[in-house]
Structure formats: C-alpha cells, structure tokens
Structure 1
Amino acid sequence: MKYSKIWIVALFVVQLAVPGYMIFEQQQILSHGEVYKFKTQPIDPYDPFRGRYVTLTYNINANPIPTEQTFQRGDWAYALLSVDSEGYAMFTKLVADEPNAGQDYITVEVSWGGQDRGHYVDVPFNRYYASEETAPNIERAVWRRETVDDVYVEVSVLDGKATLKELYVDGLPIKEYLETQTKQ
C-alpha cells in the first residue's frame, strides 16, 4: 500500500513535469532565440481535435536546399539559416551533422530530393493557431493578394529548435491588421 502511494505521487509529478518542461523550453526559445522573418502564405483549415488554425506554406521551401550529402525521405537533418537581401530567412545548406555554435540552424525532416539537385524539407512551424472567428478572417485578409503584399512570420531559433512568434500582414501583427480592416 505504501509503495502504491509513492508510485501515484511519482506518476503525478512526471505528468506535471513533462508539459512544464515543454512550456519552459518554448519560453527559452522565444526569449533567447535569434529572430528570423519567413515569407509565407496562410491557408485556413479546420481540425476537429485542435480547432481552427492557419496552415503556413513558406516561400523558403520553393527551392531545394543544396547539400553535399545524401538523405532519404524521413531523415532528420540540419538546415543552415541565413538572411537574404530583403531581410527574409533562407536555407543555405542541408547537413547531417549538428553545426557548431554560432551558426543558426533548424532541425528539419527531409521530404524529398537528391544530392545532385538538393532536398526539400518539412518546416516544423507550419501552424498559427487562431480563434474560430479569427482564422477565417486571416485567410480572407491574406488571400486578397491585390491589397496584401507582405505576409511573413517571425520565428525564434535557438539550438536547432524553432518557435513561431507572430504572423504579420503588411508589417502589422495579424490582430492589429484585422482591426484596421474592420475599421475601414
């Protein structure tokens, strides 16, 4: 009887520690990570378990990432980051070994491609969660391409992990942008 109480308490502690650590880790990335801007185009799907969110497809994935190594679909790799002339993030190289300190990178899953032409990857921060009312408004606002030129997200990157900070439309955080649209 005494051991069963200890096991129950230990189980309870573990159940609290795991999500607590996940929250702590995300906060560390947001607080101490390097911020990159990723050009994007949102789409508004619905998931009955997770609710409304905006799926983000990235311009950074329009071209394969150069590499000197061979990867298979589903392999994990490191995509080295840099910034282009317009200030947006770009992948410069895909490598199998974790880069040295001082080089920003994101741990990614290889989607397809080859050593000769480069690889495409699955970007790990492809969802922006929004309320039931806001998600369709985001999609409508962003897909009016004749009035919206600049859609991007800010992503914090730290030690290969990335966390989406904010979605921007025409230089404004999405909530502010939607407020300005409703006032017009």
Structure 2
Amino acid sequence: MFQKSVIKACNSRNNLWSAKVQSRLLLVNDLPAADAIYHQACSVNFRKGDPVPKKYQYNPKDELRYKPLGHPKEKDKLDAFLKVCKLFEENDELVCAQQLVTKMKDFLPVGSEPYSERYMLQKLKEVFFGNIIVFSKYGLPNILTMGETVADIILDYQKKKKLEDPE
C-alpha cells in the first residue's frame, strides 16, 4: 500500500530523484523484509515536490571520509614490489628474503616502509604461484629461489656426478 502511493508520487514528479526511488522500489516486493528505511524529511519533500533536503544530498567530498576496508593499496609500494618481483624473476641465484625487503626499500620514496619479510613472502607466493621455493630453518634467514633454478641445480649436479663417475 505504501509502495503504491510512493510509485504514484514518482509518476507525478517525473524527475531524476523520482526515477531513482522508483527503480529501487521496483526491485523490492516487501519493504520491511528488505529493511528499507526512509527519512521523514525526504518523504515529505518527495511528496510535496521539493528537492532532496540538503542534509541528505549527495556530496562527492563525503566519499573521502570513508576509507576502504582491508590492507591499504599504496601505489608506491605496489610499484616497488613489482620491481622486486622482476629482479627476483630475472635472477638465477638463491636470495635471502630480507635482501628483497631491503631492495624494495631502495625503490620506495624516502619515509615509506617496505613490506615486512612475512608479507613479502606471502605476496611473492601469490605472484609466482607454485613456482617459488622457500627454504627455511629455525634461526636462519629464509632463502628463496625459483623452481626452475632448483631444477637447474639438480641437473647440473647430476651431469657433474656423471662426468666424475662414468659408470
């Protein structure tokens, strides 16, 4: 019943605000079940044909007050991390995780902090999927390498062993 009266008001207003209200109403069959709320001031202004009350008008500056949830996505850090990834991928050596953190710090502007060693390892695993191997032992720094590097080391070892012992 309430919904029908609001749709009737939408048809009589025929402007942007009424189009928004009508599109929202048409998506819902039962307003209380959908936890629909309205402001009394908005309802009165809407039915009288007045504009949206200033208190409820959209203001792009309001978006700046709300920060997204989760880990902040900082462009400088992301760019530095991607440079570290490229270096790591091009390097055929074993690398200490702390070296990568230090390298990331070199790519960052002064005052910015690099990823922690733990977060760096997590992000590298995400980027390189299963192609990264982490050697860790209690009390020693984490050593990283690409899976291809390990395969090359093993193949070189086998070739060397065959040369030393032809049988």
Structure 1 or 2: larger helix share? 2
Name the structure, 1 or 2, with higher relative contact order (CA <8 Å, separation 6+).
1
Give the alignment's TM-score, normalised by structure 1: 0.22
Give the alignment's TM-score, normalised by structure 2: 0.23
Largest Rg, 1 or 2: 2
Structure 1 or 2: larger strand share? 1
